[in-house]
A and B are shown apart, each in its own frame.
Chain A
Amino acid sequence: MSHASGSIVERFTSALADLDVPVTRTTPTDCAATIAGIVAEPVVGVELPFEGVTLPGVVDTDPSPSSLEAARTGVTPASFGIADYGSVALTATPDGSEPVSLFVDRHVAVLRRRDLLPDMPTAFERLGPALRAGDSVVLATGPSATADMGELVRGAHGPKEVHVVLVDDEGATDE
């Protein structure tokens, strides 16, 4: 990890920059417009469980296998992020967060600043109670990738591109 220095947001951003994943910062009010500027249509998504934060109208939040197949972008919330690694935690939900983040070419993960955790042990402290309560979570770090065809290729069975939208909620600071 070459991201040990700097604020938690800087570490997170720098880890993701190594994977060519942009991080766009926004506010709850501007979040929908920010997302609208990032997606490529058609867009599927699942509702964001964050108070005061909404998805833009362009997002189909009731996807089916066929609309999922046609979609180019999928928007999902992230339960938390891990600054040292640039990982986002995607919790499986009955409305399809897992397939929406997986079948599309571009995955847009929406993460609240307050949910950004510093490191792996802290992340697992949060995962422990959640998994014991029955949750399933994917720690996703950058796009899907393979080196099985002779050299590194981004976009194997999952997305080719990942974009993180970081929502600066009230009360959170960078330090």
Chain B
Amino acid sequence: MSSSREERAARIRHLLDTEGSAVGENTRGFNRGRYDAVADLEAYESLKDRARAIKADAIADLPALVESVTEAVESNGGTVYLADDADDANRYIREVVADRDADRLVKSKSMTSEELEVNDALAADGVDVVETDLGEWVLQVADEAPSHIVAPAIHKSRADIARLFNERFDPDEPLETAAELTAFARERLGELIADADVGMTGANFITADSGTIVLVTSEGNARKSAVVPDTHVAVAGVEKIVPSVEDVSPFIELIGRSGTGQDITSYVSLLTPPVDSPVVDAGEPDVALADRDDDREFHLVLIDNGRFDLREDDELRETLYCIRCSACANSCANFQAVGGHAFGGETYTGGIATGWEAGVHGYDSAAEFNDLCTGCSRCVNQCPVGIDIPWINTVVRDRLNRAGDDGRFDALYAELTPDAEPGGLDLGKRLFGNYGTLARVGSATAPVSNWVASLPPTRALLERVAGVDRRRDLPTFERTTLRDWFAARGGCRVDEASATRSAALYADVYTNHVDVDRGRAAVRTLEALDVHVRLPSVPESGRAPFSQGMIATAKEAAEGVHDALRADLEAGRDVVVIEPSDLAMFRTEYGKLLPAADADALAAGSYELFEYVYGLAENGADLEVLTGGPEPVAYHAHCQQRTLGLEAYTTAVLDRLGYDVVESDVECCGMAGSFGYKREYYELSMDVGKHLGDRFAAADARDRTVVASGTSCGEQLDDLLDRGSRHPVELVAPDRRSER
């Protein structure tokens, strides 16, 4: 196990060094472009809702749509073939190509054709297959795989491409600028397209009513590939079919913006083949186009290859809604750092790739990169069809956990890891997934537990057996937990009968056992605002096991939390949560783990601490009782807090209290719960974190007090900066003397 961790760490380190810089620059550019482009789109949310509804209906109705599109294409004069799998599709395509006696086939970019590996199948028959998308052509020349589903050569810089072309083609004048490289490729590919016999394209959408193939492109090579030769083969997954032409409209408004941040791409081809355009026949250069009498041939090859099974899978079905825009990849901090050569399987890359790989290539391929999704959820709001991509990743992780068969160390761990998971689960996952139990034991035996945990032999053992990187400081458990302290002081100082509000403060594992100070600050703050505070005994939220893909354990935790808070909710008390990742469990993930009524009640009744403080102020509470500025503050919100749209409450309260706030716009700190503790991901975590570190080391932030809402963000910031970080409530809470 430890050697595979080492190999993985080495592989990631290599990609960080060789491809990380080009991938990072490009994906961050796309991501910024997306934010700008959707901000200008008034109907963005309603377009997303409509797009999702169209996909949901289309997948539900898929067998009928396959029939309709077949009828439409055939009545237009084309042919439809429904291929069971890649071999079946390739066999059909090879027959078409052989029937046309074709020497060369030109292709436009198609991830589905990558999935089929049709190039290899045709090359084996002696067919010259030419990729005409400039990025794909670069990769064909370099003999490399795509690293991004939209911009396949994103990992190569201009200088890399110039070096490649100059070595391979030895041009008279060495190529240098992007314009020169583009002109060279256009010229060369133009000649290859001119006497091609067959053109192959993918399809972004297919309309069942008209038999139209929709291609969303910018270069113009797809237009040429489809129109110059007399034979057009389009390959597409069955999930690309939508009922009608009109249904395509919202997708056209969303796809370019979501992907590369363009309002629309240069070309949206809506081809209803066989098309009316004349063949551009280099063999008959002087025959007028208008005088031709072409007999065009069109083949639509629809691909199943696991998709109909995916459609039957209640947890992974939404993968089929994916329009492959790449927003989930571009908004992902880990993807930005390593790109698709680490964050991808056999064909697909980025967040949703886990669903695709599990569906079309199997779980082994998904297992290669599934860990790289930290569940930060930054992709969720960016997906134009609203797929809960972290959930897809969690389900696949859970299934992978259950496929393990090595239970050697389970007896050793049984005491410390009382989960509901199968034997053979990765020990690191089991350790991190049972953090709550560890914390209880840790506090009960502190400071001995802290001392033992920090000893070099312990760290070496933890690293070797469970993969905990020894470069990380471990959390230090407090002997007196928050709940101990609260009980010792005799509970709340504000009487419930006369209080403005009554709240159950959720003492999460970290607040209760490690960062007791932020819990005490939260109690003081709420009491000062005339809130009666209860600190009920509530089990851990299940975030830790959930993030390890231990869904059964997380479900038990969710049930435990709901049971423990039921009385408070029924009594009309508000549930106030300090840790954003736990609040996100209550508000979002519990929807998947609890009966709907229970999940809804908890989601509606729970608040992030500063959201709650803001609400109290809006309802007349006087914030003057809290500790005000003008201290300059650098604030990093938690990723899941931002996905829930809650970070603005913290900045608003700090602002009202007179603090001067600079907020980071970095998507994720890189720690992501236990991710950054893992030996194989430590370097990646620090690479991601570097952007946050750099932000707060910049001239306008370096002298500011650092505050962060999330536990792991705070830990990462402590490792990144030479000044410590605190939770913002520790800044605004009244003086400690008010505790007594």
Contacts and interface: CB of A to CB of B under 8 A. Distances in A.
A161 B159 CA distance: 26
14 contacts: A2-B40, A64-B287, A99-B289, A102-B223, A103-B280, A124-B248, A131-B210, A136-B276, A139-B264, A139-B267, A152-B178, A156-B134, A157-B189, A157-B219
Interface in A94-123: 94-99, 102-103, 120-121, 123
Given A15-B263, A127-B246, 15 more contacts: A4-B42, A92-B271, A120-B249, A127-B245, A136-B272, A136-B276, A139-B268, A141-B266, A147-B260, A148-B138, A150-B158, A153-B178, A156-B219, A157-B132, A158-B219
Given A151-B178, A157-B186, A146 B219 contact: yes
A124 B271 CA distance: 14
A4 B138 CA distance: 39
A58 interface: no
A125 B270 contact: no
B314 interface: no
Nearest to A94: B276
Contact of A146 (B182, B190, B275): B182
Nearest to B223: A102
Contact of B151 (A2, A69, A136, A148): A148
Contacts of A159: 220
Contact of A66 (B156, B269, B285): B285
B264 A87 contact: yes
A149 B223 contact: no
A141 B265 CA distance: 7
Contacts of B159: 150
User: What band does the interface of chain B fall in when counting residues whose beta carbon is under 8 Å from A?
Assistant: 35 or more
A153 B264 contact: no
Contact of B246 (A15, A128, A142, A155): A128
A138 interface: yes
B339 to A, nearest CB: 15
Interface string B269-299: 1111101111011101111111010000000
A81 interface: no
B151 A125 contact: no
A121 B286 contact: no
B252 interface: yes
Contacts of A151: 158, 178
B374 to A, nearest CB: 28
B267 A64 contact: no
A36 B93 CA distance: 46
B356 to A, nearest CB: 23
A32 interface: no
A137 interface: yes
The list of the 7 closest CB pairs from A to B, nearest first, reads: A150-B158, A158-B220, A148-B135, A156-B219, A157-B220, A96-B289, A124-B249
Contacts of A156: 134, 182, 186, 218-221
A77 B21 CA distance: 44
B249 A140 contact: no
B488 interface: no
Contacts of B190: 157
A68 B286 CA distance: 10
A128 B209 CA distance: 9
Nearest to B25: A150
A41 interface: no
A17 to B, nearest CB: 13
Contacts, number: 205
Nearest to B213: A136
B285 A94 contact: no
Q: Kindly name the residue among B182, B219, B252 whose own CB sees the greatest number of chain A CB atoms within 10 A.
A: B182
A102 B266 contact: no
A134 B181 CA distance: 38
B267 A99 contact: no
A15 B228 CA distance: 31
Contacts of A173: none
B464 interface: no
B274 to A, nearest CB: 9
B523 interface: no
A87 B263 CA distance: 11
Nearest to A60: B288
B463 interface: no
Interface string B192-226: 00000000000000010110100000111101100
A49 to B, nearest CB: 14
A96 B287 CA distance: 12
A121 to B, nearest CB: 5
A94 B278 contact: yes
A135 interface: yes
Given A96-B277, A157-B190, A128 B245 contact: yes
Contacts of A136: 212, 269-273, 275-277
B272 A131 contact: yes
Contacts of B186: 155-157
A66 to B, nearest CB: 4
B185 A149 contact: yes
A2 B206 CA distance: 30
B403 interface: no
B285 A65 contact: yes
Given A1-B40, A102-B220, A134-B76, A95 B289 contact: yes
B382 to A, nearest CB: 18
Contact of B289 (A2, A64, A148, A155): A64
B244 interface: yes
Contact of A139 (B156, B270, B282): B270
Nearest to A47: B290
B111 interface: no
A63 B286 CA distance: 9
Contact of A123 (B76, B134, B219, B249): B249
B289 A63 contact: yes
Contacts of A145: 218-219, 266
A125 B223 contact: no
Contacts of B248: 124
B497 interface: no
B736 to A, nearest CB: 51
